[in-house]
Amino acid sequence: MSALDHVRTIASKELREIVTNRGLLFSGFFFAGWFAIMTGLGISGEDISRANELDNSLFYMAALIGLFVAYIYSGQTYLREKQTGVVETLLCAPVSLRSLWIGKAVGVAAPAWFMSLLAAGAIMGIAGWRAGETLLPGITVTVHLLIVVPTFIIAAVALMGFSQLMLGMRENMIVNMLTIMVLFGALATTRYVVQKAQLVTWTAVLGLLGASLGLLLITSLLGRFLSRERIVRTIS
């Protein structure tokens, strides 16, 4: 079996576990829906044009919602298997550590991206309903939603997965609390960010894409520090 087959097998298992878990699905829909509704209702077009504000909101919120949902799902994928000890058995399989890690990242990132797209659709729908017209995103935001956001989510999930596999349970609790604080802090600043007239530019979109690819590269390099021994010794 090739490494790609392993990644596909692991990713599809994780994906199936997420989409068949009502609790996980509900929390994904709840957070994506809640933030999308709040954002959609907040698009007033008072300070900048409605279309501009929608683009800003989609640019900022799609990535953030995707990241938030991915954070919830990654805990169930990496950390839960480590807590229950299931990962130790997987480490004995003829699968490379990298395939295991990436497979899980893909399995988590795919539904998280789907949730962010749903949220983006909801934001557009609500903003359009309030404006009494159909509001569609500009080309930069469309590229952002279809290319940059999934890259950003998968880079973030890979980093979260790395830290969850690498660190002990106590360290992971601290990292989780910090992640939650950063995420809520970012969500709390939404209003200030989306009111800026020139937020969504090609520079910003390509800059975030570059940053995401850079994060992927850094995470990939960090992967060299990940070993079976490290994971096993931080299980309990």
Partner 1 sequence: MTVIEAIDLTKRFGGPSAPPVLDAINLSIQAGEVFGYLGPNGAGKTTTIRVLLGLLNPTRGTVRVFGEVPGERDAARARLGVLLENSGLDDRMTAFQSLDYHARLYGVSNRTRRIERLLGFVGLADQRDLKVGTFSTGMKRKLGLARAIVHDPELLFLDEPSAGLDPEAQRMVRELLQELARTRNITVFINSHHLDEVQRLCSRIAILHRGRIRACDSVDALRRGAGGDRIEVRFSDAGQAARGAQALRALGRLPEVTVEGDRLATSVDGMTAPEIVATLVGEGLGIEEVVRPVKSLEDVYFEIMREEEAA
What are the residues whose beta carbons fall under 8 Å from the beta carbon of 175, sequence distance 6 or more?
163, 167
Say how far apart CA 107 and CA 9 lie, in whole Å: 10
Say how far apart CA 39 and CA 68 lie, in whole Å: 15
Residue 85 within binding range of partner 1, rule CB under 8 A: yes
Q: Which stretch binds partner 1 (CB under 8 A): 17-25, 121-129, 150-158, 172-180?
A: 17-25
Q: Is the Cβ of residue 21 or residue 176 nearer to partner 1 in the bound state?
A: 21
Q: Is the Cβ of residue 92 or residue 188 nearer to partner 1 in the bound state?
A: 92
Q: Which stretch binds partner 1 (CB under 8 A): 6-14, 156-164, 172-180, 218-226?
A: 6-14
Cβ pair 104, 12 in contact under 8 A: no
Q: Which stretch binds partner 1 (CB under 8 A): 2-10, 41-49, 59-67, 168-176?
A: 2-10
Say how far apart CA 128 and CA 106 lie, in whole Å: 32
Which amino acid makes up residue 59?
F
DSSP letter assigned to residue 94: S
Minimum Å gap between C-beta 92 and partner 1 is: 4
Residues of this chain that interact with partner 1 (CB under 8 A) are 1, 5-6, 9-10, 13, 16-17, 20-21, 81, 84-86, 88-96, 228-229, 232-233
